[in-house]
Amino acid sequence: MTEKKEVANAPEDVHSFAKPTEAVARHLDLDINVNFDEKVISGRATYQIENLAKTDHIIFDTRDLVIEKAYISDSLTETTFEIGKEQKHLGQPLIVAIKPETKSVTIQYKTKPDAAALQWLNPQQTAGKQHPFLFTQSQAILARTWIPIQDSPGIRITYSANVKVPPALLALMSAENPQQKNSTGEYRFFMNQPIPSYLMALAVGDLVFSPIGTSTGIYAEPATIAAAAHEFAELDKMLVAAESLYGRYRWTRYDLLVLPPSFPFGGMENPRLTFVTPTILAKDRSLTSLIAHELAHSWSGNLVTNGTWNDFWLNEGFTVYFERRIMEQLYGKEYADMLEVLGYQDLQHTLEELGPKSEDTRLQLDLEGRDPDEGLTDIAYEKGNFFLRHIEQAVGRERFDLFLNKYFNTFAFKSTNTDRFLEFLRTELIKGDEKLARKINIEGWVFSPGLPKDHLVPASKRFEQVEQAYNSWKNGTPAAQLNTKDWSSHEWLHFIRMLPEPMTTQQMAELDKAFHFTNSGNSEVLAAWFLHAIRNNYTTADQALETFLTNVGRRKFLVPIYKALTATPEGKKKALAIYAKARPNYHAVSTSTLDELLKK
């Protein structure tokens, strides 16, 4: 174990075939055509490479790609290549013959229509219903399904791209972006800051741009842009808050792209252009902590990157911590406390699900032999966050912030890993203070399962009022008379999560009549309420549930709902019937999880 690490210094990534210590890509020039009729991306990927070991081959990751030709050097001399054996989850290595002095490699390829990173939407699946739409989701190891690439977060490349799309559509990437369509459908992109492959991103659709500040703005379909501009009007303030905490924003612009509802995640931190689900368009700006989260990734994740998926907590734990600091700065401690309590509930839930002794509840993971997608849980997010909170509490916020600033500056545009972070923690913060080291308890937090006993248990003043209201309802006060004035979606979420199991139809109906949960426009509230509706067989919500499941593709909502449905034979029948209809609307990221869940 230690041996491996020392030799490479770049930790070995068990999810990539590439051998970056031998031959590594530094720059990509992508030249592709997007064909909606055939659902195929085709073209060439030209890499500037460094042949460090003067070897006779360079290895790229591929999965479900058709590799047509390979060339070396700028004069495009055809070369031979070999496609290695398929490995579960990982795809196949593409081994291209090179010379010791080779500086560039070109691969001519095309994708398959069911490439896992790509979701091709027909017009009916968009807000405008007029034009098709395509988007990519490369994290964790799906970039290799649309580009032959050294698909490891420990390897960074700059890139440029020529992308040809139907002239009615706009193309956007995780790069410097156009703000309007042109008549040719040919777009040129530059990303001259080195990024890991999982941040390669492309979206193509009927998109318009609406500025917020001078370096921020929103892309969305025309039908969605006004709602999005209203919802995210405070984006600039978020950016200012983030910069005041951990230093200058390094990626020039920060724009958002609002995707169709089938987007499988809440958000994806593609550099310069965060992709977001439209399910956070709640009208009241109550779900914008998700934007703070994706913005925070501009530091934790995109600037300082987890070197392997085993170190995922370095991306997500830091980002959750940072997200809540941004929200605290903008909306106050009481607001951030609510997020912290909800996060703590999520953590407890995940610990229960995985079991407190599960190896997957350690911060440093061991995902060898598995699809990283399966092992990336709330542990990285929330246990990671609470570990950082714990350190913050031990050394004081001021000192911790200085430390974090230094961390981001020291590792900027680099990939790192758990061991290197811990070394930095020891030399820059603990500095031989044994009492502090014991208090911080690296072993307990990072390498042991479960939660150390002395972890911080968050509390929320605003939630105390929710708990009071809940208790008086339990003691007989009619729901309609509860004091729920000024509750945000967080208070509602807390309230709904507290509701007892089981409830009578009468109770469900009373709550619904008073608070209109079934018809809520807030996706978080809806998703939490549906769980009770399912468990209590509250059929009034059936239609709304089906509509939700057929429109929304966000995995975080789908999985618990389908899971709840499958708890009874009738529910399972319902689930399968809805899934049959809804499945074509879901991205491969969601269907791969749900196929597994529903076949059991």
Binding site for ligand BES (CB under 6 A): 139-140, 265-269, 290, 293-294, 297, 316, 376, 381, 556
Torsion angle of C-alpha atoms 354, 355, 359, 360, degrees rounded to 10: 20
CB of residue 145 vs ligand BES: minimum separation in angstroms?
13
Question: Which residue, 385 or 536, is less far from Zn ion as judged by CB?
Answer: 385
Q: Which does 310 bind (CB under 5 to 8 A by kind): ligand BES, Zn ion, none?
A: none
CB of residue 297 vs Zn ion: minimum separation in angstroms?
6
Question: Which residue, 102 or 319, is less far from Zn ion as judged by CB?
Answer: 319
CB of residue 217 vs ligand BES: minimum separation in angstroms?
20
Residue with tokens 């919802």: 231
Backbone angles phi, psi at 257, to 5 degrees: -120, 120
User: Looking at this protein, which amino acid is placed at residue 443?
Assistant: E
| Pair 34, 204: CB distance under 8 Å | yes
| Pair 140, 89: CB distance under 8 Å | no
Give the contact letters, 261-300, x = binds to Zn ion (CB under 5 A), - = no: ----------------------------------------
| Pair 94, 60: CB distance under 8 Å | yes
Among candidates 113, 188, 186, 198, which has minimal Cα distance to 154?
198
Q: Which does 282 bind (CB under 5 to 8 A by kind): Zn ion, ligand BES, none?
A: none
Show the tokens assigned to 578: 């809805």
Q: Which does 139 bind (CB under 5 to 8 A by kind): Zn ion, ligand BES, none?
A: ligand BES
Question: Which residue, 268 or 391, is less far from ligand BES as judged by CB?
Answer: 268
CB of residue 321 vs Zn ion: minimum separation in angstroms?
11
Q: Which does 191 bind (CB under 5 to 8 A by kind): Zn ion, ligand BES, none?
A: none
CB of residue 231 vs ligand BES: minimum separation in angstroms?
15
Q: Which residues are catalytic?
A: 294, 381
Show the tokens assigned to 350: 């995940």
Number of other CB atoms surrounding residue 57 within 10 Å: 19
| Pair 376, 309: CB distance under 8 Å | yes
Task: Report the C-alpha gap between 459 and 4 in whole angstroms.
Answer: 43
| Pair 119, 84: CB distance under 8 Å | no
Task: Report the C-alpha gap between 452 and 445 in whole angstroms.
Answer: 6
Going from the C-alpha of 112 to that of each of 35, 118, 120, 260, the distances in angstroms are 11, 10, 12, 22
Q: Which does 72 bind (CB under 5 to 8 A by kind): Zn ion, ligand BES, none?
A: none
Q: Which does 266 bind (CB under 5 to 8 A by kind): ligand BES, Zn ion, none?
A: ligand BES
Chain length of the chain: 600
Q: Which does 265 bind (CB under 5 to 8 A by kind): Zn ion, ligand BES, none?
A: ligand BES
Backbone angles phi, psi at 531, to 5 degrees: -60, -40
Element holding 313 (H helix, E strand): helix 312-331
Task: Report the C-alpha gap between 139 and 145 in whole angstroms.
Answer: 11
| Pair 310, 418: CB distance under 8 Å | yes
Q: Which does 556 bind (CB under 5 to 8 A by kind): Zn ion, ligand BES, none?
A: ligand BES
CB of residue 194 vs ligand BES: minimum separation in angstroms?
18
| Pair 469, 475: CB distance under 8 Å | no
| Pair 209, 243: CB distance under 8 Å | no
CB of residue 222 vs ligand BES: minimum separation in angstroms?
25
Show the tokens assigned to 482: 């509860």
Task: Report the C-alpha gap between 232 and 280 in whole angstroms.
Answer: 10
CB of residue 293 vs ligand BES: minimum separation in angstroms?
4
Question: Which residue, 59 or 339, is less far from ligand BES as judged by CB?
Answer: 339
| Pair 434, 329: CB distance under 8 Å | no
Question: Which residue, 13 or 269, is less far from ligand BES as judged by CB?
Answer: 269
Q: Which does 376 bind (CB under 5 to 8 A by kind): Zn ion, ligand BES, none?
A: ligand BES
Question: Which residue, 304 or 376, is less far from ligand BES as judged by CB?
Answer: 376
Question: Which residue, 136 or 216, is less far from ligand BES as judged by CB?
Answer: 136
Task: Report the C-alpha gap between 58 and 63 in whole angstroms.
Answer: 17
Show the tokens assigned to 89: 């989850």
Among candidates 313, 326, 312, 347, which has minimal Cα distance to 457?
347
Task: Report the C-alpha gap between 169 and 185 in whole angstroms.
Answer: 7
CB of residue 278 vs ligand BES: minimum separation in angstroms?
13
Rg (CA), the chain: 24
Going from the C-alpha of 117 to that of each of 147, 237, 238, 389, the distances in angstroms are 10, 32, 29, 34
CB of residue 319 vs Zn ion: minimum separation in angstroms?
5
Coil vs helix vs strand at 291: helix
Stretch that binds Zn ion, among 312-320, 391-399, 401-409, 556-564 (CB under 5 A): 312-320
Question: Which residue, 386 or 579, is less far from Zn ion as judged by CB?
Answer: 386
Question: Which residue, 380 or 499, is less far from ligand BES as judged by CB?
Answer: 380
Question: Which residue, 153 or 205, is less far from Zn ion as judged by CB?
Answer: 153
Interstrand relation of 254-258 and 186-196 (parallel, antiparallel or unpaired): unpaired
Question: Which residue, 70 or 200, is less far from ligand BES as judged by CB?
Answer: 200
Backbone angles phi, psi at 203, to 5 degrees: -140, 140
Stretch that binds Zn ion, among 256-264, 319-327, 446-454, 489-497 (CB under 5 A): 319-327
The DSSP code for 537 is T
CB of residue 117 vs ligand BES: minimum separation in angstroms?
11
- Give the residues lining the site for Zn ion (CB under 5 A): 316, 319
